[in-house]
Amino acid sequence: MDCSTANINFTMKSSADDRRLRRMISNRESARRSRMRKQRHLEDLRSRVGRLRLENSAVAERIAAISCRCTVISHENKLFKAEAAALSRRLFEIRQLLFLRQLDCLSSLPALVSVSSSGGGVGVGTGYLGSTNEQSLASLMA
């Protein structure tokens, strides 16, 4: 081999080694960047997990408080319904009692008989049994 051929072979070898070395350095740098991205992503995920756990805990506390309040309100609602039913029954009994008292009062009053001036017919007068008592009786029946 002559000197120029040896020189070319050395240059080619050197050039190939340089390319391989640059590629190896580039690959290592790319791998390092990839590991750093992976590490940042992992840290972001861990941070997100922490935030979500806190949020989940807060939501669970709110659900427990709302559930407790719902139970209390449900119990109060049952009590109010029972009270409303009892008051309704009591009102019905009072209306019945008033109705019976009015009937008793009406039956014990003497009926006034009046003679009609036009035809000589007999009718019940309105002296004691006025329209006010009739209206009261009608309202009690309703």
Per-residue pLDDT tens digits of the chain, which is 142 residues long: 566 665 666 666 788 888 999 999 999 999 999 999 999 999 999 999 999 999 999 999 999 999 999 999 999 999 999 999 999 999 999 999 999 999 988 888 765 444 444 555 444 444 444 455 556 655 655 5
Q: What burial class does residue 113 get, using C-beta atoms within 10 Å of its C-beta: 0-12 exposed, 13-18 middle, 19+ buried?
A: exposed
Dist CA 132 CA 125 (whole Å)? 14
What phi and psi values does residue 130 have, to the nearest 5 degrees?
-70, 175
Of 66, 136, 61, nearest in space to 105 by CA: 136
Domain ranges, ordered by start, for the chain: 3-88
Report the 10 Å Cβ neighbour count for 98: 14
Q: Give the residues across from 114 on adjacent strands.
A: 123
Structure tokens at 53: 């756990």
- Whole-model pTM: value is 0.48
